[in-house]
Amino acid sequence: MRAFVIFAGLALIGAMTFTILSFSAAPAPGPVADKPFTETLQDRLKRLPGDYRGWAQLASQYVDQARTTGDPSYYTKAEGAIATAARLKAEDDAVLTGQAALAAGRHEFAEAVRLAERAIDVNPYGAPAYGVLADARTQLGDLRGARRAVDEMLGLRPGVAAFARASYAAELRGDTAKAREYLEMAENDAWQPADLAYARYYLGELALHSGDLATAAGWYAKALQAYPGYTPALAGQARTAALSGRLTEALGLYQSVVERLPLPQYLIEQGETRIKAGRPADWTLLRAQRELFRAAGVRDDLTWAEFEADHGDPARAVEHARAEYARNPNLVAADALAWALFKAGKPAEALPYAEKATATGWRNPLLKYHRAKIEQALGRSVKVDAGFDPTLSALARFS
């Protein structure tokens, strides 16, 4: 989901070489121009091991690296860094925000809310804590609470991170025009290539989920112009190619995507595109990723509920979906549970969850398709969107 990765996508590619600059107060004698002193965050912490905010910053960067590289071992590194920060000053707002970000990264959203709120109690003017709070409340299905946190963030620090969250909040309540407006504000505010690519990518996603493949492709291309290494935009190009019927092109693009970033969503999209092209899907790497994430303390029942419902065992899908919904009763979890129950032959039990998933007006084609199929199974006269391709359902899910 978009809110879950917002703070990972904003100017964080390559963040592990965080650099500190300092300039002398007076010019050095002679004709040689001043040169800035550069120091990585890791070097600074070796020199100043008591810098608790530096340790918190390092932990946050490790969390971001886990998300941007697909390597869950960074969560373990983040845990070590934030534990050091907490030993030095447990009640610092930056330390608490770092702990909240790690909890969110591991899908422990209730704990993320608790820690973010503690950070806000310590420093009510810390915008990053409101960002983590908004993300975690969204995942818990508390859209009103998330919107309040977004509004606080907008008031404290209007910028790419706040505008992106405001866009997602608007989209979830069905206001696509406002969502686009906020993303355009994010694009106008962005100055770092990764931020610019991020805003353009999600403008592409808005267009894609509205069925405008040409506009979506244009935004993905612009995102890659801003930052050629921005893998989500390459995945966007793969989606538009697959949904346009250019399956060979799409598979070539997906191969590049998963070689760079083997996230479960991309692996499932690649597999579905292979099936669409008449080729067998290989889920070996996907299952290996599940074990890696599990070993790193990440619990992701949502991905497996969706995967098992479409490509595996519906009964197991229901187990995963119930577990996810019990922890995180958000719109996507409600949809996953509805679809799993439907695939398990229980459309009457599925319907209330499908209704909840579509109750806010979110214009998500996958959610609408799932609800329509469930209602049809119950004998209701409902039209299914003829333009939606259920064989490529993973491509309609939000990254």
Q: DSSP string of 120-185?
A: HHH-TT-HHHHHHHHHHHHHTT-HHHHHHHHHHHHHH--SHHHHHHHHHHHHHTT-HHHHHHHHHH
> How would residue 348 be classed by pLDDT, with cut points 50, 70 and 90?
very high
Checking if the pLDDT of 334 tops 50, the result is yes
- Give the SS3 label for residue 191: coil
Compute, in degrees rounded to 10, the torsion defined by CA atoms 9, 12, 14, 17. -160
Q: Using CA atoms in the order 60, 65, 68, 71, what is the torsion angle rounded to 10 degrees?
A: -130
- Residue whose tokens read 């971001």: 64
For residue 374, what are the contacts with CB-CB under 8 A and spacing of at least 6?
338, 339, 342, 347, 350, 351, 354
Mean pLDDT over the full length of the chain: 88
Residue 2 is predicted with a pLDDT of: 57
For the chain, the first-to-last Cα distance in angstroms comes to: 5
As a whole number, mean pLDDT of residues 239-244 equals 96
* Residue 155 half-sphere exposure toward CB, CA atoms < 13 A: 9
23/223 Cα distance (integer angstroms):
34
pTM: 0.85
Place 278 in a pLDDT band, splitting at 50, 70 and 90: very high
Q: What is the mean pLDDT of residues 44-66?
A: 88
Which of 59, 101, 115 shows the shortest CA–CA distance to 84? 59
Report the amino acid identity of residue 187: E
- pLDDT at 392 > cutoff 50: yes
